[in-house]
């Protein structure tokens, strides 16, 4: 059955995830059904997307002001990065508590996260904890025992291989994974056993360049009609 879509004129130019990503089995997290996640910290993109949620991780130390801004703007569930690499221990736990207070429904920690940091976060934060998995041989048994609820696989071209290994080892493990740049890579990740797919959108600059081209074409068309 086709799902009817209702859209207004001003909201029609949203960032849409590839249609095939909607075939992901999905997860229900704190009452929210999620099939797709937008991988972004750009509040303009986050506010204008058809993704079911956002995974907001970035290559800097996590800051409460960034998490607050994203959670305030987002009208979809937010999975917030709270460190685990350079930022760890009590600071990660504190940032997780602040993220939870601002409305984030999941906390994401980086692959280098220590078991001690995970244990500190679990003592402080009630929201589900997501462990990033980036390598085929990355061991996660101890982290699952410590309370990690789901994993986020980001292994580049090895992502389907990592997902397949995890699915064999842990048949019921909730797995988020990057879909990759093509429909074929997305299908491979789905076939490997991912529950939720993340989508990396075009940048604000790329989208604005396309919009400017539309404006220029419209101006040229109007000039010829005068």
Give per-residue pLDDT as tens, 158-167: 999 999 999 9
The answer to whether residue 83 is domain-embedded is: yes
The answer to whether residue 9 is domain-embedded is: no
Q: Is the pLDDT of residue 217 over 90?
A: no
% pLDDT > 70, the chain:
99
The answer to whether residue 170 is domain-embedded is: yes
The answer to whether residue 10 is domain-embedded is: no
The answer to whether residue 157 is domain-embedded is: yes
The answer to whether residue 195 is domain-embedded is: yes
The answer to whether residue 2 is domain-embedded is: no
Give per-residue pLDDT as tens, 15-56: 999 999 999 999 999 999 999 999 999 999 999 999 999 999
Separation between Cα atoms, residue 60 and residue 107, nearest integer Å: 16
User: What is the rounded average pLDDT of the residues 139-153?
Assistant: 97
Q: What domain count does the chain have?
A: 1
Give per-residue pLDDT as tens, 93-145: 999 999 999 999 999 999 999 999 999 999 999 999 999 999 999 999 999 99
Q: Provide the residue range defining the domain that includes 36.
A: 19-225
The answer to whether residue 4 is domain-embedded is: no
Q: What's the CATH number where 93 sits?
A: 3.20.20.60
pTM of the model: 0.92
């Amino acid at each position: 059955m086709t799902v009817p879509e209702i859209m207004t004129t001003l909201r029609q130019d949203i960032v849409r995830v590839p249609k095939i990503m909607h075939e992901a089995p999905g997860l229900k997290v704190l009452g929210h059904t999620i099939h797709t996640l937008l991988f972004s910290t750009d509040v303009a993109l986050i506010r204008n997307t058809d993704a079911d949620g956002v995974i907001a991780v970035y290559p800097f130390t996590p800051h409460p002001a960034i998490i607050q801004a994203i959670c305030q703007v987002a009208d979809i569930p937010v999975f917030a990065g709270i460190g685990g690499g350079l930022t760890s221990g009590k600071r990660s736990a504190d940032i997780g508590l602040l993220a939870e207070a601002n409305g984030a429904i999941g906390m994401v920690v980086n692959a280098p996260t220590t078991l001690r940091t995970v244990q500190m976060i679990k003592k402080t934060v009630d929201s589900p904890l997501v462990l990033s998995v980036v390598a085929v041989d990355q061991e996660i048994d101890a982290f699952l025992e410590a309370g990690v609820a789901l994993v986020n696989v980001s292994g580049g071209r090895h992502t389907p291989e990592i997902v397949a290994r995890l699915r064999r080892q842990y048949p019921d493990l909730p797995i988020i994974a990057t879909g990759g740049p093509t429909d074929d890579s997305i299908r491979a990740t789905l076939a490997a056993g991912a529950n939720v797919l993340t989508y990396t959108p075009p940048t604000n600059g790329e989208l604005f360049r396309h919009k400017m081209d539309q404006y220029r074409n419209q101006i040229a068309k109007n000039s010829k009609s005068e």
